[in-house]
Amino acid sequence: DSHIQYERVGADVTMKCGSMDWDAAVTWTANGTDIDESHLNGSYLILKNVDLSQSGQYSCYEGSSWHLKYQTYLRVGTPPKEPVLMCRSNNYPKGFYCSWHLPTPTYIPNSFNISVIHGTKDMVCEKDAVPKNRCHIRYLQLFSTVKYKVTLTVTNALGKNFTTLTFDEFAIVKPDPPESVVAKPVPNNPRRLEVSWQNPSSWPDPESFPLKFFLRYRPLILDQWQHVELSDGTSHTITDAYAGKEYIIQVAAKDNDIGTWSDWSVAVHATPWTEEPKHLTTEAQITETTSASTSSFMAPPTTKICDKGAMVGSGAMAVCWTAGLVMAAYSVLFI
């Protein structure tokens, strides 16, 4: 019959060949490979200072008959370190979830037990199928003055460990990031970008629990972000974008009154509308259309801002002197 045996990394392991006497003649194998006699003490197998690579199946055979007398599966591992626990309410006021993980692997199976105490009441945290290591709780009461105490215990064959979190209902509120962030250029406005987004779908009641938003944007070529905080609405028009520069834009959400900001949304890229210059050569025109924003609007002759003779640079980065000066002036202002 077969067992499993768990041992700590660095331990000394002695395996007995079942009920065989100490002085019986036996052969031990590890994963089918014979083990040298130097590791034997009589019929006992001695493994000193075991490491992870020594995990495997160990079998003991009677000397002459080669009968299998004993078999065990050795799993080398470690007792659990203090687990990492996180609780968060991304669906306030419905409830909250907790998720956990071990900071370092134990290499052997672990079991987790979570307990939630609210004042004198024990609450059940229902385990989620996916992802694993996560459970959720529904609030029975709102606006509680009593803290929640969550204890996570992790146990394996070599030991146990635990961690506790204590928090107020309001402290763990953190929505998911806004969804469907879209940024579009505004026709005929070379310094504008229209950004719109939606409330995260996990936030159940934006009517009674409105969210406020934080928008950040910067041209790809700069490191400094610009920020706008918006107390309502799910759209905003950026009016100070640098003409012709590609922007990266992100949005975060927070309950109007409590909790913390969400993580940043997925980043979207957009470039403000640029006027299509009319009198460039064919090659330059192709470069312009592939790098400019999605605008099918042809600049009328009256809005022409410079003669082709006054162009500086080439292709997509072609600017005329006046526009160049204006941009330089704006850049100085923003530094």
Buried b (16+ CB within 10 A) or exposed e, 193-208: bbbbbebbeebeebee
Residue closer to other proteins (CB basis): 4 or 146: 146
Residue closer to other proteins (CB basis): 119 or 313: 119
Residue closer to other proteins (CB basis): 93 or 177: 93
Residue closer to other proteins (CB basis): 1 or 232: 232
Minimum distance from residue 112 beta carbon to other proteins (Å)? 23
Minimum distance from residue 133 beta carbon to other proteins (Å)? 25
Size of the chain in residues: 335
Residue closer to other proteins (CB basis): 258 or 284: 258
Minimum distance from residue 208 beta carbon to other proteins (Å)? 5
Q: How far apart are CA 335 and CA 316, in angstroms?
A: 24
Kind plus residue range of the DSSP H or E element containing 146: none
Minimum distance from residue 159 beta carbon to other proteins (Å)? 26
Q: For residue 261, which of 219, 230, 293, 298 has the smallest C-alpha distance?
A: 230
**Residues at the contact surface with other proteins, assessed by CB under 8 A:** 93, 119-120, 139-147, 149, 166, 170, 207-210, 256-258
Minimum distance from residue 100 beta carbon to other proteins (Å)? 19
How deeply is 125 buried, as exposed, middle or buried, from its count of CB atoms within 10 A (0-12, 13-18, 19+)? buried
Residue closer to other proteins (CB basis): 165 or 311: 165
Kind plus residue range of the DSSP H or E element containing 321: helix 321-334
Q: Is 110 within 8 Å of 155 (Cβ atoms)?
A: yes
Minimum distance from residue 141 beta carbon to other proteins (Å)? 5
Please state, in angstroms and as integers, the Cα–Cα distance from residue 310 to each residue in 221, 244, 275, following that order.
25, 18, 16
